[in-house]
Structure 1
Amino acid sequence: MITFYDTQDHARLDAAMRGLREKALCLVTRPGQLLVFEHVPAGQAGVQVAAGGVEPGETSAQAAVRELREETGLNLTAPTHVTSYLWEAALPHRFTRQVCHAFMFHARTPLPGTWDHVAEQRHLFRFRWAPLHAPGLDWEMDAALPHLHALLKEKTPHD
């Protein structure tokens, strides 16, 4: 189940009051595409975007920049908040409830079509560009996509 918050401040306050984990999602875009990855070797983790927990004393935007750097090797800054939402799901062997903050990053410099990156010396991630309109994300990571599309439409100059 997904519930969207009116503001990021409201999301952070709700997370603090309920003692919920906060997570930052990194939506890296270039025209018509979204950066996604899969674990190597492929397992049950599915198609994801860079994401991770907000550490104590860190803003959700700072967490997004840090997680993006750790998981992709990219050093992009100045993320734009897209939306925040409460994600509740029954996963195999556990129930999860967390507050997610989605941030958009623009890939302004040319990046390869695919690349591998070792995150935290433990995980090999294979990155690729997926169609923005249907990236095939798992784990409800696509919940923020309608908000991302609306934001991108606002920022696109109209003829």
Structure 2
Amino acid sequence: MVTFYDTQAKARAAAAARGLREKVLCFVSRPGRLLVFDHVPDDSGVQLPAGGVEPGEFPAQTAIRELREESGLSLGGPQFLVSYLWEAELPDRLTRQVCHAYALSAPADLPDTWDHTEANAAGSGPHLFRFRWAALHAPALDWEMDAALPHLHRLLNPFKESQT
């Protein structure tokens, strides 16, 4: 279940008041495409670069850090899209967290696919992320990561949105 907040400030206040984890999602796009990844070798679904906001960190900083850690990309200028409360009953637990979605523009010279290994600070070994470009209109994201996708479409196509 997804509940959207009016502002990021309200979302952050709600997270603090309820003791909820804050998470950032990175929507990296190029014309008609969205950067997604698959974990290798497990099958945990099609995902976006994402991660938790650390103490003392602002969500925009988290977006830059998580994108670099998970993909190797150093992009700046994240544009805030929307914040929402995500609640889901997963196979092994109930999760409830506040998500902040950010849009980032990809440089034209990125490859069509690449692998990036992230060391895991928790000691469970490295994570291999296999990146690729999915169709922006239907990226087949898992874990309700697509909740902010309409906001990305409005950002990228403001004229089209105003015509409907």
**Please, which of 124, 127, 132 is the counterpart of residue 128 of structure 2?**
124
The answer to which of 112-121 and 88-97 deviates more is 112-121
Moved >3 Å (runs of 4+): none
Q: Give the number of aligned pairs.
A: 156
**1:88 matched residue in structure 2:** 87
Alignment check: 8 A CA contact 2:4 2:83 kept = yes
Identity of matched residues, %: 67
**1:46 matched residue in structure 2:** 45
**2:70 matched residue in structure 1:** 71
Alignment check: 8 A CA contact 2:54 2:62 kept = yes
| Shift in Å, 1:120 | 1.8
Deviations 1:9-52 (A, max 9, x none): 11001000101000000000000000000011142x10000000
Return the alpha-carbon distance in structure 2 between the equivalents of residues 67 and 85 of structure 1: 19
Q: CA RMSD in A?
A: 1.4
**Please, which of 140, 143, 153 is the counterpart of residue 139 of structure 1?**
143
**Taking structure 1 as the reference length, what is the TM-score of the superposition?**
0.95
**2:56 matched residue in structure 1:** 57
Look up the SS of the partner of 1:65 in the other structure. Answer: helix
Q: Which amino acid aligns with 1:37?
A: F
Return the alpha-carbon distance in structure 2 between the equivalents of residues 148 and 21 of structure 1: 23
**2:12 matched residue in structure 1:** 12
| Shift in Å, 1:108 | 2.4
Which sections of structure 2, spanning at least 5 residues, go unmatched? 121-125
Look up the SS of the partner of 2:68 in the other structure. Answer: helix
Look up the SS of the partner of 1:102 in the other structure. Answer: strand
The answer to which of 145-154 and 25-34 deviates more is 145-154
| Shift in Å, 1:151 | 1.1
